Structure formats: C-alpha cells, structure tokens
Structure 1
Amino acid sequence: MYGLVNKSIQELITTNFGKERWEIIKMKSEIKIDYFISTEPYDDSVTYQLAMAASEELNISVDEVLFTFGEWWILKTGNEKYGGLMKAGGTNLKEFLINLPLFHDRIMLIYPKLTPPEFKIDGIEDKALVVHYFSRREGLVGFMKGLLSGLGKLFETPVEIIHLYGRENGHDHEAFKVSW
C-alpha cells in the first residue's frame, strides 16, 4: 500500500488518541520506518502490523480498527486530498456507488504502481444495491464496511451494510448489500 494509507492511519491515531499513543502503537508494531512518504509504495505487512498494534493498544478488535480507519479514509483523507475526484463520482450515495468501478482508474493516474481492488455493482434497487469487492488483499472486510459507512456519512445518507458472503465462505471475493 502507498505511504498515504499509513500516514492516514497515523493521523487517525494522533488526532483521536494523541501522539504518545501513536508512538506506542508504532513501537508495538515493530515498524522501523521513521516517517511515511505518501507517494511511495510499502509492503502491505506494514499496514497490517499497524492495525494489529492499534487493536492491542486501544483494546478493540482489528475489524473495529479497520472499520474506523475506513470511515476516516473517506471523511478525512479521501475528502480532503481527493475532493475533486470524490465529487466527480456522483452527487449522491447511489450514484457514487454505481460509479465506484471507475474510481480507481482515475486514482491510478496519480499512483501508477497502485494495485487497486475491483468493484462490481449489481442488485440495484431504489434504496439498495450490492457491492462486490475483489482484491488480492485479504482481511479487509472491516475496512470495506468502514469505507461504505464513511460514504454514507459523506453523502449524509444513513446506511445499513450487510456482509453477504466472502472468502471465509469459499467465495473469491466479498459482497456487501448497502441499503439506505
């Protein structure tokens, strides 16, 4: 993952829990990187180690850490750093989600070494749809639910997110029903 992801985790922790907690989490993660460069790719294990250390230090599950980070990513990092791209995705939650499969194509223009997930949208109803999430990265269900929740908050639309199925059930991807 790019350094931008790890910097965002650092911002989330320092903003909500203080710089001292971040230093403890960084130490517990055994990451030997002094600072993250936004445009540099880092091994995924760095992000996972930070999430596990945050889980231990904050006494919450890794899924809760990832969910909180997903919301933060949308509301803070995504909205502040990529506001134009976010606005280009749609004027409401449903439009944005329907356009989600094209979003990472635009991001790849900024981060050419990015290995983005893929999305497929189906089951479109008036107030619900299904988001299919395909990624080579495992263990990000909590993060994906946080992203979807964050999008609901961004568009001021309360959402219900149900994890329909995923890799733990033998599928090759995760599927989420998003209702509003």
Structure 2
Amino acid sequence: MYGMVNKAVQDLVITNFGDEKWDLIKQKAGVEVDVFLSNESYPDEMTYDLVEAASEVLGVSGREVLHAFGEHWVLQTARQGYGSMLEANGRTLPEFLINLPTFHTRVAMIFPDLKPPRFNCTDIKENSLLLHYHSHRPGLTDFVIGLLQGLGKMFNTSTKIVVAQRKAEGADHDVFAVSWVEGEAG
C-alpha cells in the first residue's frame, strides 16, 4: 500500500491517542519507518501489522480500528489529499457511490502502481443500493464499512450499512446493502 495509507493510520492514532501510543503501536508492529512517504509503496503486511498492533495497544477490536480508520480516511485524509476530486465525484451519497469507479480511475492517474479495489452498484432504488466491493486484499470489509459511515457524514446523510455477502465467508466478493435518508446526519 502507498505510504499515505500508513500516514493516515498514524494521523488517526496521534490525533485521538497521542504520540506515545503511536510509538507503542509502531514498536509492537515492528515498524521502524520514521516518516512514511505518501507516494512510496510499502508492503501490505506493514499496514495489517499496524492495525493489529493498534487493536492490542488501544484495547479495541480490529473491527473498531478499521471502522474508525475508514471514517477518518474519508473525513480527513481524502478531504485533504483529494478534496476537489471528492467534490467532483458526486453531490449526494448515492451519486458518489455510483461514481466510485470514475473516482478510482482518477486516483490511479496520480498513483501509477496503485491496485485499487473495484466498486459497482446494483439494485439502485430511491433510498438504497447494493455496493459490490472487489479487492485482492483480504480483511478490509470493516474498513469499507467505515468509509461508508464517513461518506454518510460527509453528505449529512443517515446511512445504514449491512454486509449482505462476505468474501471471507465464501462469496465471490463483499456486497454491502446501503440505505440512507438524505439530510439527516448519521
């Protein structure tokens, strides 16, 4: 994963728990990098190790860490790094979700070695849709839930997310049933 992912984990931890906790997490994860370079690629295992160590050091589940990280990614990291692209991708939650493939195409132009997940929407209705998530990286279902929660907040839209199918349980890919009420904060 690119360094900006690990920088975002670092930012989430330091903002909410302080530098000392971040140092403990890095130590527990065996990470000796002092400064993550946003455009440099790091092994996926490093990110997984940081999340696992954060769970242990902070005394919360890995699921909670990934939810918080997904939400932080949307509300902080993406807004700072891709603000104009986020705004151009949609004016409402459903519009944004439907346009996710275009968003990732634009991001891939910035990061040429990026292997982004693929998203597509089906069963689109007035207040719900199914979001299909295809990724070669295992274990990020809860991160996507956090992303969706963050997007709901970004669009001031109360959202409900249910995992309808899990790749970890034998499905071809994860599928999220997303429903919303626009204008109601989540």
- Decide: shared fold, TM above 0.5: yes
Report deviation, 1:179. Answer: 0.5
Instruction: Quote the residue 2:4 is aligned against.
Output: 4
Counterpart secondary structure, 2:41 = coil
> C-alpha separation between the residues in 2 aligned to 1:130 and 1:79?
25
The residue correspondences of 1:19-168 to structure 2 (distance < 5 A) are 19-168=19-168
| TM-score, structure 1 normalization | 0.98
**Where does structure 1 lack aligned partners over 5 or more consecutive residues?**
none
Q: CA RMSD of the aligned region, Å? A: 0.7
Which is richer in strand?
2
Report deviation, 1:26. Answer: 0.6
The answer on whether the counterparts of 2:66 and 2:146 sit within 8 Å (CA) in structure 1 is yes
Q: Deviations over 1:84-114 (max 9, x none)?
A: 0000110111110111121110001100000
Runs of 4+ aligned structure 1 residues displaced above 4 Å come to: none
Count of residues paired in the alignment: 180
In structure 1, what residue type is equivalent to 2:96? F
> C-alpha separation between the residues in 1 aligned to 2:57 and 2:85?
34
Q: Deviations over 1:137-180 (max 9, x none)?
A: 00001100000110000000010000001112311210001100
**Where does structure 2 lack aligned partners over 5 or more consecutive residues?**
181-186
Deviates more, 1:145-154 or 1:28-37: 28-37
